[in-house]
Every structure is written in C-alpha cells, then in structure tokens.
Structure 1
Amino acid sequence: MRNITEITRRQLPLLIPARLKVCAYVRVSTDHREQMNSLENQTQYYKHLISSNPDYEYCGIYSDAGISGAKENRPGFLAMMEKAKNNEIDLIITKSISRFARNTLMLLKYVRELRDMGVGIIFEEERVNTLKSEGELLLTVLAAVAEEERKSVRGNVRWAMENKCKRGEVMVDANRLLGYDKDAQGNLVINEGQAAIVRQIYRLYLEGISGYKIARILNDQNIPTYTKKPWSSQRILRIIGNEKYMGDCLMQKSFVNDNGRQIINRGQRAKYLIENNHPAIIDRKDWEAAQQIRESRRKKAYPLSSMLRCPFCGASLTRVVHERRWVSWICATYLRKGKAKCPGMRIADGVLQEIVKDTPVTEPVVVEGVIYGKGRKKRSQEDFRLIPAAQYGGFKRNRE
C-alpha cells in the first residue's frame, strides 16, 4: 500500500529588497536664460521625485546644456553612462525620448547597452520602462515617429527662414558682431567704442599689414576682443571679409541639413544680399579695396606646399612673403603660437630652390639645419639637409 507523506515547505528568511539606485538625466538644447531656468526647474523636480520615494536611493542628476541630443559627446550623459558601467546606477528617469537621444539608432544603442547592464530607463512623457518586455518595441516606434516629426519641424523652420530672407527681414546676432549693438526695435546700431577697433583693423590691413601681424599688434596693445580668446589672424580676416561692416547683410551663409548639422552654404541653397541695411562702419570703397588685398594674398598652389616639415614640432612649413620683396618658408606652429611653442624652422626660398635642384622632393621631408658654428650670418644650401619625414626620428627628441 502506497503512503504519501507531505514534506513541509521550508520557510525562507524574509529578505528586504534593496533600494534601487536612481538618477535622472536632463538636457536643454541651448544655454539661453529661459532654457537654463527650465534646466534648473527639471533638476529640482527630479531631485524631489527620487528623494521622496522610499524605494529609491538618490544618485544625482546628470545634465547637459546647449548640446544637441544628436551628439554622443555630452559630458553629463557620458558621466552617467560611466556610473552605470561601474554598477552605481539601477534606474534612470528622464523627461522624454528627445531629451535622451535625437535619433533612433543612437537611442536604441544606449538603451540596449544599459539593459545588458541591468539598468532601466523610464521615459515619463511616453510612459515607457525599458526593462519591461514591451519596452523596446514601443520605444522603437515612438523614436521613429519623433524623428520624422523633427524632420518635418526642421523643414518648416527652413521654409520660414527662407521666406524671411526673401522679405528682407534680417536675422543677426549682435552679440557676435564686433562694432554693433541692437536698439529697442532690434535694429543694428554702431557701438562707437568697438567700432574704433574695427576701423583700426581695416586701416592697418589697407596699409599692407598681414592679419597675423595685426593680431599681434592688438594683443600687444591689450585691445579687448570681447571674447575669451586673444586676437588671432583668423578672426582678423573674418572681420575683413564681413560685408556687414559696409552696411550690407548676406543672409543664409549657412544652413541646417537633414541630419541637423550646420553646413556652410557653398551654393547648395540660395543666398540673399540686403544692401544698405544698417549704418556702415567702413566706407564701401575701403571695404572693397580690403577684399582685393585679401584675394591677392590667398594661398596659391606651390609645388612644395605641404611637403616641408619642421624638425622641432613636425608642423608644415608655410610660404611667407616679407614686405613683398623676399620669400621664406617658416614653421606654421611658430607663426601661429610663437617661440614659446616651437623654436621654428626658417629657410629662405632661394636657398630651398637651390637644394631641390639637386634633391627633388617627391614625398614629405623634414628641413633640418646643419650647425657649422657661430659667426655665419647668411645661410646657404650647405646649412640645411632634407630628410624623408617617414625616416625622421627627431620630433619627439626635439620636443623633449
């Protein structure tokens, strides 16, 4: 006869579940005051939301301001991902899909990476939890819809801006335009203090002084740049080439492509020139004369361009015309940043041409000086030698 004996279930000890380590991610696309206020409000909201939940352990707020969600290189976002990899986060709360990532592929990449680490994301507006079974399907559909909506909005914005250009409605950021402010009606007006700097730049340029030397003069005179950076030849030349200083305004110099990137308009879109739009700082004839000088100085294609290297830093040697009389090749690092960054290699063009007669240059070469002792003021081809850059091992040694 069979006997059935019940084996009493062993009672397991009561386990108190550990609290989830929770953080929030917030992002605003610009650093304008209104959006920065929004960032602060979101930060306070999520801090209270997480701290007030007894099941959550508050692990901080990660944020980015003025950075597009289409970019992966976001400091706050990357710091949060690093914490997740170190097992310091269990759950991330964010406002919406668009705050987390701006395209479907990037979104799914990070969602899956976090899910594989056991980290979930809650998107509040869409009410999606990525750790639930239906989470990724919903997320894929919603992200694709959101991406199409952004493309549609981008197209509408582009259409509206082009129509403004056609109507002659000027859109200029005076904060980035040295010499001008905006009045109460939004019109450009001359800032005389800054305009004096612009006039000085044009005067020096029309006297034949290069952009590099003008930048050095302004820095030596402690002339303010109204930015965090010192004067540079690039900024001088941007000022020289800016049509706004003669009172005109060329609209749509750049545009946003379908991927959300700012692109220089090289003929892909129409441009709109509005003449005599605002008070001029520079006389039209002087502005046009400056453009002729600039055009005459544009780099020409020389056989040795990009073929010569500095033995100290490895930078290319740049062809420089001195006082329209003689030519030399000088280290680009030395020209841009001075002797503090590189002692600089310099060789006269005449000497270089004599060398290449005997040693044709067919690949990048290092121009190394040969030291024969002091007392030789004029250097000849015997004072230099050309060494193939691929065989040269002195860059590191010279830097040290």
Structure 2
Amino acid sequence: MEKQKYAVYVRVSTDKDEQISSIENQIDICRNWLERNGHEWDEDCIYKDEGISGTLFLERPAIQLILEKAKKREIHMVVFKSISRLARDMKDSLEIREVFMAYNVRLISIEEGYDSFKAGRNDISFEIWSLFSAQYSRTLSAGVSAALAAKVRRGGHIGKTPYGYDKENGKLVVNESEAEIVQKIYGWYGSGWGFKRITRELNDRGIPSKLNPKWQVTSVQRLIQNRIYCGDFILNQYGTVKVCGRKKQIRNPEEQWLIFRDHHPPIVSRETWEKANSKKYKATRRKITSWNELRGLMKCAVCGCNMVILQGKRRREVQSGQRKYFAYVKCSAYRRAGEHACVNHVPIQYEEIRELIIERLSETGKTLSMNLKSEIKKLKEEEIKILNKKIETMSEKKKSLVDLFLEKLITKEEFEQKRIELDRELQHSEEELFILQRTEHVQQNEQNIKEAFVQLENTDQDLYHVFNALIEEIKIAQDGTMDIKYTFRQPVQGKMFSKGMH
C-alpha cells in the first residue's frame, strides 16, 4: 500500500497531570486505528495543542498548522480521538471540516466512527456530534458554576487570598497585622489622599503587599474598591465572550452578580466602604485619560514596561478663564509604584511624540524603495535567521540535559520539568518560524504597509491601526531619546527636540 501523509491531532484543555496523561491515551487510540487500517506509524505526524480550550479556535497553533498543510496538499487525512478534541464550538467544528473537505482531506473521528469519505457532504452525523460536543461544554460550565456557588454559600472562599486575610479550612480569617494596614489605607483615602500618595507611603514605609515587595497604584485602587473588605463576596462578577475566535473577559451587569452579604469577617465597616466608593466621592477624584494611539508600542527603555498617558493641567487662560489640559507620557511602572519601580522620564507631551512620529513616517514613506517587498523579505530573513539560531540553541540544550541526567547531576523530576519547558519553547519557536516562512505572510505585510502609508496622510483620524502596521516598537529613554523599530526596516535612533517638550 502506498504510504499516505496524515496528521494525528490531540488536544487537552489544562496542564493537570490527568489531562496530560490523556494525550498519550489519545495518541494510542489514533495509532491503533492507523495500524489496523494498514498505515505505517510515524511519530512526526502528531500535532498537539496542550492546555488550550476547545472553544478557542484561533489560539490553537497545532490545528492552524494542520489547516495550512491541508491547503498546501501536504496531508491527505486527519485522525483524532473524538469531535470534542477537534473543537467544542459547533461553528468552529463545521468551519474546520469545510476547509479540510475543500482540499479533499479525509477526516476520521474514531470515537464517533465518523469518516468524511464514507459519510459524504450530505450526511448530518458530524453536525449532530458537534452539537452534542458544544452542549456538553455549556453544561459542564453551568455545573462548575453551580458547584462554586454552593461552596461559597457554605462560607468557602474561591480564588486568591486577598491582602488582609488568611485562608484556613477553605474559609477566610482576618490576618491582624495586614488588616491594620487595610484600615490605614481606607483611613488615608477617607482623609483625601489619592491612590498614588497611598502607594508611595506604603513603599516608603517598607510594607510589602501580599505577593510582591512593592505596592502599585492599581493594587491600592482594587483594594479600596473590593467589597470583600466589608464582608461581602461576589460571584459571577466577570464572564467571557467569544470575539473573532478568541475569548475576552467582560464585566457582567450587576443584576447577574451573585452577592453573598456577611460571607466572612469584615475588616472595615460597611459604612466606611460605601463612603469610599460612593459616586459623589469618586467623582471629585476622577481624571480622564487621553486616548493613546501609540498604546502597546511605546516602551520604557529602562524597564521595558509600557509608556502610558497621564493628564495634567496648566494655569487658567486669561481670556477664557478655563484650564488648559495636556497629556504627557510616563513609564507605567513608575506611575504604579514611583521611584521604587523605575525612573521618572523628562516631561514628554504625547501630542509632540505623535507629531514627530508622523513626520518621521512621512519622510520615510517618501524615500521608501519602490521594491517594498524586497525590504520586508530581508527583514523577515533576518528574523528567520535569529529564530533558527534560537531553535538550534534549544536543541543543544536538550542534548546537554540528557547528559546531565545520565551523569546523575540532576534528578529525574528536574530533568522532566526542564524537558517539558524546552519542548514547549521549541514548539512555539517552530510555529513562529512556520508563519514567518509563508510567502503570503510577506505579501500581506506589504499590502498592509502600503495601505497604512496612504491613510497616514489624514492625520486628523485615529491612527492606531496605521501606527501598528508601520511600527513594531518605540523605546523611550529617560532623557527623551527614542529608538524606533519599524515593521519594514531596522531600528532608527533619534533625539526628541520638539518645542516645549523639556
């Protein structure tokens, strides 16, 4: 029999030991089917998605890789244990099947006995099994929610132990030393202190948070807004929705919350908490953060954290009598924890950075070679070279790891842990390499960059997507020096010198 190219797809949704062992179970079942049907077993045919939910289609690199191979006619058959392993979302299951059938790839689901070549396009068994799989996922989720609610109703705590409490026999008990700090925080806030001043005070006194040695502004803010400190526990405050194949966390409407009043011992009175979180009280402190079209691109050159926008205000204008606001950028780590986390950058106005970036991009667009594809390709070749070197280094590390184990310099447990870590890094790098090597990847980048330069001409519009298409990263040093790394060229360094910046 002629040897056919096939793929064996296996998936587990968590990294728990019992789930990982089911990977081997899935492989054994698929191998048994292949050998019984006259196919020669090949270890390289296995594609794994580990610790990834079956409802997240776009975040499963292994299934994406198989789909690409199907489009290139590199495989003729895909074998998996059950349709629930392929996907738990009915829409995704049907979409995956349509792609495979369009390229004449045979689908085999062993548990359901489904064979796409025998069933044909008019057979509805695949749709029925996909519906059962999706319904099972929803039923399982509802069952877990009900079990959690029952646990909380009995006084149990779910999730991380908050600052101010310890966990004993599954329930919250007050940690007296931490509770004293919580009461101080509410007292400071009630006397008019802001989140930043409270954070600085805690860090100056050397008081550590629950998990980190330093406090951050967001940690203080969440502590004050958390109803757990007045004795309440809220379940179902957050949920998830699926957007474009990915799960996104959302805040549920208050009517969907399950509020358990007096669930555990409070640290502050209900009156104190309600006063700190009253709309009238918070309105006097609220500041509107300006829109940031460079969000995610601007990085602090010192610590690597994102640069964020803060809003300041100048004196009242003589003619209008109104205050004039301006936006400036700061390192997010410095904003959260002050000098304990990073340095304070020189005053850099956001509008001036935006103008300078647009000016540089416009100049670059005028002098950009007509053969943009060639420049993008050169950059990608350099990235591929770096990635290949990384893969080679990790492969050598794997060999050295075996030698260390054989020479009894590390234990079996250490060997297994390091091996798993290296395997995951290798898999991620190989998937990244596969995407970079695709010809259509270069073509799509070229098209996106050309369109972005055209849209750049209209500077009055929101340029978030334009900046993301043309810029990979902007590193900003403490003195205002910027290093710009484009998506189509090597990094360029330059000193910011625009008017009014310093």
What's the TM-score once normalised by structure 1's chain length? Answer: 0.62
Q: Deviations over 1:42-87 (max 9, x none)?
A: 2222344556636232223412315352442234443444455565
Instruction: Report whether the alignment pairs 1:56 with 2:41.
Output: yes
Tell me which residue corresponds to 2:130: 143
Contact 1:108 1:140 in 2 (8 A): yes
Instruction: Report whether the alignment pairs 1:98 with 2:94.
Output: no
Residue 263 (structure 2) aligned to one of 267, 277, 300: 277
Q: Share of identical aligned residues, percent?
A: 20
Residues 335 and 262 of structure 1: CA distance in aligned 2, closer, same or farther (over 3 Å): closer
- Distance in structure 2 (CA, Å) of the matches to 1:84 and 1:214: 57
- Distance in structure 2 (CA, Å) of the matches to 1:125 and 1:198: 55
Q: Give the SS at the match of 1:93.
A: strand
Letter of the structure 1 residue corresponding to residue 238 of structure 2: S
Instruction: Report whether the alignment pairs 1:390 with 2:460.
Output: yes
Contact 1:204 1:214 in 2 (8 A): yes
Residues 219 and 115 of structure 1: CA distance in aligned 2, closer, same or farther (over 3 Å): farther
- Distance in structure 2 (CA, Å) of the matches to 1:299 and 1:309: 22
- Distance in structure 1 (CA, Å) of the matches to 2:346 and 2:293: 13
Contact 1:25 1:77 in 2 (8 A): no
Report 1:29-108 matches (<5 A).
Answer: 30-31=14-15, 36-49=16-29, 53=35, 55-58=40-43, 59-65=45-51, 67-82=53-68, 84-85=70-71, 89-108=75-94
Q: Deviations over 1:329-386 (max 9, x none)?
A: 5646416344879654359xxxxxxxxxxxxxxxxx65999xxxxxxxxxxxxxxxxx
Tell me which residue corresponds to 2:311: 319
Instruction: Report whether the alignment pairs 1:236 with 2:220.
Output: yes
Tell me which residue corresponds to 1:345: 348
Q: Give the SS at the match of 1:115.
A: helix
- Distance in structure 2 (CA, Å) of the matches to 1:399 and 1:335: 15
- Distance in structure 2 (CA, Å) of the matches to 1:162 and 1:46: 30
- Distance in structure 2 (CA, Å) of the matches to 1:333 and 1:240: 26
Residue 178 (structure 1) aligned to one of 157, 163, 166: 163
- Distance in structure 2 (CA, Å) of the matches to 1:252 and 1:209: 31
Residues 390 and 340 of structure 1: CA distance in aligned 2, closer, same or farther (over 3 Å): farther
- Distance in structure 2 (CA, Å) of the matches to 1:138 and 1:341: 63
Residue 109 (structure 1) aligned to one of 95, 109, 128: 95
Residue 124 (structure 1) aligned to one of 78, 94, 110: 110
Tell me which residue corresponds to 2:488: none
- Distance in structure 2 (CA, Å) of the matches to 1:115 and 1:197: 63
- Distance in structure 2 (CA, Å) of the matches to 1:307 and 1:149: 42
Q: Give the SS at the match of 2:460.
A: helix
Q: Higher relative contact order by CA 8 Å / sep ≥ 6: 1 or 2?
A: 2
Give the C-alpha shift of residue 188 in structure 1. 1.6
Q: Give the SS at the match of 1:278.
A: coil
Contact 1:180 1:194 in 2 (8 A): yes
Q: Give the SS at the match of 2:277.
A: helix
Residues 389 and 172 of structure 1: CA distance in aligned 2, closer, same or farther (over 3 Å): farther
Tell me which residue corresponds to 2:410: none
Q: Greater CA radius of gyration, 1 or 2?
A: 1
Q: Which consecutive residues of structure 1, in runs of 5 or more, have no partner in the other structure?
A: 1-15, 348-364, 370-387
Give the C-alpha shift of residue 108 in structure 1. 1.4
Q: Give the SS at the match of 1:182.
A: strand
- Distance in structure 2 (CA, Å) of the matches to 1:329 and 1:368: 17
Instruction: Report whether the alignment pairs 1:226 with 2:218.
Output: no
Give the C-alpha shift of residue 121 in structure 1. 3.2
Q: Which moved more, 1:338-347 or 1:139-148?
A: 338-347
Contact 1:190 1:279 in 2 (8 A): yes
Letter of the structure 1 residue corresponding to residue 230 of structure 2: M
- Distance in structure 2 (CA, Å) of the matches to 1:114 and 1:294: 58
Q: Deviations over 1:273-295 (max 9, x none)?
A: 43332122334454344335961
Letter of the structure 1 residue corresponding to residue 118 of structure 2: K
Instruction: Report whether the alignment pairs 1:24 with 2:9.
Output: yes
Residue 336 (structure 1) aligned to one of 323, 332, 335: 332
- Distance in structure 1 (CA, Å) of the matches to 2:255 and 2:143: 18
- Distance in structure 1 (CA, Å) of the matches to 2:261 and 2:176: 22
Tell me which residue corresponds to 1:291: 277
Give the C-alpha shift of residue 40 in structure 1. 1.6
Contact 2:71 2:103 in 1 (8 A): yes
Give the C-alpha shift of residue 319 in structure 1. 3.1
Letter of the structure 2 residue corresponding to residue 111 of structure 1: R
- Distance in structure 2 (CA, Å) of the matches to 1:258 and 1:76: 20
Contact 2:77 2:107 in 1 (8 A): yes
Letter of the structure 2 residue corresponding to residue 143 of structure 1: S
Contact 2:174 2:267 in 1 (8 A): yes
Contact 2:237 2:254 in 1 (8 A): no
- Distance in structure 2 (CA, Å) of the matches to 1:85 and 1:193: 62
Residues 297 and 319 of structure 1: CA distance in aligned 2, closer, same or farther (over 3 Å): farther
Instruction: Report whether the alignment pairs 1:188 with 2:172.
Output: yes
- Distance in structure 2 (CA, Å) of the matches to 1:87 and 1:192: 66
Residues 198 and 92 of structure 1: CA distance in aligned 2, closer, same or farther (over 3 Å): farther
Q: Give the SS at the match of 1:280.
A: coil
